[in-house]
Structure 1
Amino acid sequence: MAEQAHDQNNSGYETTDAHVKPLAQTGAFIAVLVIASFVGMIVLFRALAYYQERFDDPVPPLVENRVASDAPRLQVDPPKQKFELAQSEAATLNSYGWIDEQVKVVHIPIERAIDLVSEGKMPLLAPPPPATP
């Protein structure tokens, strides 16, 4: 194996101190840069706020007459609302009930409807009238 050259100084620590002047200059430069950026951002935001009022388009007259609804537009808990919708749909699809009581039209569970169709016991519907040109 090749032998590696080592320093003759085997004291286990640095024998010279860090140079303070370059470290202090770097720290001061970074501090000045941060402060200048902060002041520049304040000036920029104030200038943008000042000019925004002057360059905003006037509000169209129809926007002022628009009525906002009282109902919330955002879903408060979308997963919960989706679950409740799925439950109500499943309850409708798996139960008996009236669609139109006056005409005597009902809905039946899907499984029962499939059984009726497979047994050939589906109620006969009147054929649609022929189309006239």
Structure 2
Amino acid sequence: MIREWNTKLLKLMQNSAHPQSAPNPAGKGTESSDVGLKFVMIFMGILLASAIVIHLILGLQFRHYLHTHGQADQEAQERQVLPAVAQSRQLWPEPHLQISPTTDLEHFRDRENIELQSYGWVDKKAGIVRIPIDRAMDLLLQKGLPVRTSTNAAQTGGSNLQLIQDRRGEYVPPQGGNQ
């Protein structure tokens, strides 16, 4: 009985679809060859020729417009500009270019060093002076930095916003709190 079933099953399998390992009949579903080089080269040639023609046409058109309309535009502008304005355009100064950046930087640093190492007024009306850095460090060593004492140890400064408002004279302390 099993043999009968096996033979029937084999007959059914032979009549069923082709197995996957079998070659596809008549080569259906695949390309027979690559893209033809002849057609690609013809297309590239047409593309190159059209690009050259377009550039030539645009160049000729530009020259035509420059020749015919350029002179007319310049004449119209000259007629519209007042003589004084036209003269001032000719007398306009040339740009001041930095000829030697290294010497300019050296001069700048020399001026800054002289300012940092000499006495002078920052704001004469307010009585603010400038002193040399070495002298400021000596004064700081003599007097020392401000130190918190036991009387002001718990106090802290205001926030950045409060300090900015204080500087502008806008700050109003909040009611009912110790700030």
What is the TM-score when the length of structure 2 is the normalising length?
0.39
What is the TM-score when the length of structure 1 is the normalising length?
0.48
Larger Rg: 1 or 2? Answer: 2
Higher relative contact order (CA 8 A, sep 6+): 1
